[in-house]
Amino acid sequence: MRSLGHQIVADFYHCDGSTLSDVDYVTDAMLEAARRANCTIVTQTFHHFSPYGVSGAVIVAESHLAIHTWPEYGYAAVDIFTCGDIIQPEEALNYLKEAFGAGQVSTMEMKRGQVDMMGVPAHELRVKPVLCA
């Protein structure tokens, strides 16, 4: 099935709670994950909640990477949505598993924007453009 995007939704369990509550650590890990996936970073935003927990997103030219953490449970919800053939979302996922010390991971993968359902001829298919300077 041809699609415009590839999305990995992951649940990370038994993570290091101290890393999940550190907004700077989470930010750095998400940015590095985007780089390892060969994404073009556009912007990022992260927020630390009181008393704990971090939510944030890295917006990339090819879509986004997002995270929500529950350090008190050692849990993180991760969403990696990418478009294009040169992007490697699995590299981002593997890096984040290691960065947060996930002891158990559950994933669901989806193909987004099924081209066959759009009726777009193969020769007219375009992926998101690369970010212009």
Instruction: Name the residue among 31, 77, 37, 34 with its Cα closest to residue 54.
Output: 77
Instruction: Name the residue among 92, 86, 101 with its Cα closest to residue 34.
Output: 92
Instruction: Classify 127 as helix, strand or coil.
Output: coil
| Nearest-angstrom CA–CA distance, 20 and 87 | 26
Which H helix or E strand runs over 27? Answer: helix 23-36
Indicate which residues carry an active-site annotation: 63, 68, 83
